[in-house]
Homo-oligomer: A and B are copies of this chain.
């Protein structure tokens, strides 16, 4: 394995360990020693990648917005895909789940948790702005405001799903949220053509995985 690949894998395994510790213990109570023990790496390796508990937490937080969705001609569909894919990942990927829970960890007072809210809002706002220039949105819509409502509402609906049934109905709840929000944002003819199905997130996830595999086959192995 090339040296760079190894470094990336070490970094990822530290983040996964940190995610688990933050999820179990909360940011406040978690210690670097616990993360070290869970990651099974040397202190030197950990500090090479992350200088502090806060750096570890920011690394985990950032794991929820690495690949938000695939670009689509219909920008409303792209926004829907972002939400449904995120819901699918929340159900299936422990790292994403830990990252989202850390964003809502109210006891983590020294940790700046605004990043994920702002990055998601910015990405959705940009998408809605393009949607607006393409005539997909109702005339009164303010993309910034609708983006903030969507991000906030998503955060709460996932928290409620986690609280009442440990995420079992998450795809259904997020699809339902979008069905409630979009009619006040999107023109009816566009809305009618958008896929809001509960399995949309899984579809997009598989599509992205397929594309990544194709890419990897095209790039010859370096070492």
Contact = CB atoms under 8 A, between A and B. Distances in A.
Contact of A183 (B101, B148, B183): B183
Interface residues of A, number: 42
A104 interface: yes
A177 B153 contact: yes
A168 B177 CA distance: 25
A185 B179 CA distance: 10
A28 to B, nearest CB: 7
B107 A25 contact: yes
Interface stretch (A6-14, A49-57, A155-163): A155-163
A117 interface: yes
A1 interface: no
A3 interface: no
A29 interface: yes
Given A107-B25, A107-B107, A154-B156, A177 B161 contact: no
A161 B152 contact: yes
A3 B118 CA distance: 52
Contacts of A101: 106
A105 interface: yes
Give 3 closest A-B pairs by Cβ, nearest first: A156-B156, A155-B156, A153-B153
6 contacts: A101-B106, A114-B164, A148-B160, A149-B180, A155-B155, A155-B159
Interface of A: 25-26, 28-29, 101, 103-107, 113-114, 117-118, 145-146, 148-149, 151-164, 173, 176-177, 179-185
